[in-house]
Chain A
Amino acid sequence: MQNDVKQPASSLRNKIIISFFMIIVIGGILINLSFQYVLKESLTAEQLNAEMIKNISSRFISLSSGLTILGCLLVLFISILISRKITDPIKRLNEVVNRLANGRLDTRIDYTSDDEIGQLTQGFNRMAGELEHAIKTTQAQKEFIEGIVAAVPAVLIILNDRYEILSTNIGPDKSHIPIKPRDVVDILKRELFRCFKTLECQRREVTLPPVCNEGAGVSGVDEDAMTFLAEVSLIDRRKEGAIALISLTDITTRKKAEEELRKRVDELERFRKVTVKRELRMEELRRRIKDLEEELRRLRG
């Protein structure tokens, strides 16, 4: 398991043990000193002989200092036990939090107690459960939306106002589309700028040249350029920046049909022009013939 959390510079266990130790040492020193002082004063005041004072004091010192040392060891032992009792569940909690942070959402702590740490672990388990549920729901929603987006025939590119692409549906599902989202953004920078500035939707037809499309999963060069109707619209605007959507609808077939139609119309027009010209000439010739026939008749007559 990857452990991202560094070893702390101080631990709760050390703090508890040192605090207990300091209290017992300082307390022991003060109690010993005061008792020794009182004993010395009392024995001297009683005017006992030196040997008796020595015996009583020695017994007292060995007992009081010995008990203090024993107390220190006992307190040290107890403080280690107490600190372990407190820090072990926290350590486990820490491990579980790390596991959760590393994506193991099903991780829970198996610790039952009616104290604050028990409450904390219960709260953590509840939080982990809700987090797992929320993440799974979000994941499902994401997959659902991705499915919808993948099904949309148009190419969608979502980007921010620094022209960084945040998301696009050009991928394996649309690998037949030989364009690069970056090129689209570069071509449409003017429209994007206007959109970010005026908050109005911008439209433009763009013809994208054939590109080497290895990034989209297709190698090789497409022969034909493709034409798209690009629509740039603002989908979110926050303090930290704006997000725009570029929607590209493939109109290559429609454009080709239009081109074909225009060619036909032009041809017909040209044919019409030629026909009309010939008709006019014929009319003129007929008129000339008629004029010449009248001239002949007058000359005869």
Chain B
Amino acid sequence: METNHKELVRLILAAIIGAGGYGIHILVNSPLIDPLVVSLILGIMVRALFPDIGDIEGGLSLPTRVFIPIGLVLYSAHNLNFTRFAEVHLDMAILLLLVMAVYFLSIIISGRVLGQKREITYLIANGSAICGASAIVITSPAVDAEPDDVSISLLSVTITAMTALFIIFPFIATISGMTDRSYGILSGMVLQFTGFIRIAVGNIPYLERVMSGEGLLSLALSVKAVRYLGLLISIPIFASMIKGRFQIPLVLWIFLIPGIAGTLISRYDEYLYSEIMIPFIRPVHVVSWSIALSAIGLNADIRGLFSNNGAKALIMAFTGFFSAMVVFFIGYNLLRTLSL
């Protein structure tokens, strides 16, 4: 009885914090303020102030179990649009595949070398190579991650992404004399968060202009969209590795089926999809995941980031990022040389 009451209180609190996170995102109106990250940080802050709130005996809390699948269905219908993948050229797709493979391999190998928990390794790998917070949220139930694993992974990927976006990218782009197109592709291939790609493309340093702003954003987001496909492979592999037997987790079907449905709808009625469905789907999926992440934050301990696992997670996230950057530059310059 008391447990049910506590779960209800936690649900209401998570809903308030999640809605608050989304509200801040809308108010600030900046892609930098990712509602998922804001909700997680707010949840962690509330937990730090009221430590008794978050005591869940193992596993994920009720709001997380409810809102992750809801958000997943809508997220997939919104983002897993297979027609967009055709917009990426074959050479770029091959380079992207290579970058993603290096992201995965470098993070998994560094995780092994450092003796990191497998759950955190897989969450960071998916969060870095695919799509930041969303990939971490999708992967967490498949690998039976604990709230601390999710928060450590998410915070380390966020810190790496912010360092990349504001310090490393402008520096590399300026000293290497990149064009805005190269910068857009680099962002689409290497940056972890979709929101950060928007910022990167929207605030390009003074580089050589070869594309319009809109075209550049579309290119970067198309490249990013292909990365979502990685979840179809990584989730069953990681879930099978954690459980010790081949498994296609339910979460994959929840992810795949709405994606196919969304693609079909967009193909047959673009107006219905982009003008009616998407404006409804996007905020609902973001709010659902904001609530889920605030619940994870309520159940997580900020000290986790300063723990040994947190330090290893940061090293792994940076290792993955730098490895992917190196591969991108080698591959991209190779492609340019070949095309010349």
Q: Besides the contacts A9-B308, A54-B206, A58-B174, what 13 more A-B pairs have beta carbons closer than 8 Å?
A: A10-B308, A14-B306, A14-B310, A18-B310, A18-B311, A25-B159, A29-B163, A57-B206, A61-B206, A62-B171, A62-B174, A65-B170, A69-B167
Residue of A nearest to B303 (CB): A10
Taking residues whose C-beta sits less than 8 angstroms from the other chain, chain B's interface range is: 20 to 34
Determine whether B288 belongs to the interface, using a CB cutoff of 8 Å to chain A: no
Task: Determine whether the beta carbon of A58 is less than 8 Å from that of B167.
Answer: no
The 10 closest A-B pairs by CB, nearest first: A65-B171, A10-B307, A14-B311, A54-B206, A57-B206, A62-B174, A29-B166, A15-B306, A61-B174, A58-B174
Q: How far is the CA of A80 from the CA of B162 in the complex (A)?
A: 22
Q: B residues engaging A (CB < 8 A)? A: 159, 162-163, 166-168, 170-171, 174-175, 205-206, 303, 305-311, 314
The 8 Å CB contact of A25, one of B163, B174, B306, is B163
Q: How far is the CA of A25 from the CA of B311 in the complex (A)?
A: 15
Residue of A nearest to B176 (CB): A62
Would you give 14 A-B contacts (Cβ < 8 Å), ordered by A? Answer: A9-B307, A9-B308, A10-B306, A15-B306, A18-B306, A29-B166, A32-B167, A32-B170, A62-B175, A65-B170, A68-B167, A69-B167, A69-B168, A72-B167
Residue of A nearest to B310 (CB): A18
Q: How far is the CA of A17 from the CA of B307 in the complex (A)?
A: 11
A-side interface residues, number (CB < 8 Å):
28
Q: How far is the CA of A14 from the CA of B174 in the complex (A)?
A: 33
Within 8 A of B (CB), among A150-169: none
Cβ distance B147 to chain A, nearest Cβ, rounded Å: 15
Task: Determine whether the beta carbon of B306 is less than 8 Å from that of A69.
Answer: no
The 8 Å CB contact of B205, one of A18, A22, A33, A61, is A61
Task: Determine whether the beta carbon of A32 is less than 8 Å from that of B166.
Answer: yes
What B residues does A229 contact at CB under 8 A? none
Within 8 A of B (CB), among A38-69: 53-54, 57-58, 61-62, 65-66, 68-69
> 0/1 per residue, A8-34, Cβ < 8 Å to B?
111100110111011001001100110
Task: Determine whether the beta carbon of A58 is less than 8 Å from that of B206.
Answer: yes
Q: How far is the CA of A69 from the CA of B171 in the complex (A)?
A: 9
Cβ distance B125 to chain A, nearest Cβ, rounded Å: 21
Task: Determine whether the beta carbon of A18 is less than 8 Å from that of B309.
Answer: no
Cβ distance B337 to chain A, nearest Cβ, rounded Å: 24
What B residues does A18 contact at CB under 8 A? 305-306, 310-311, 314
What A residues does B308 contact at CB under 8 A? 8-11, 14
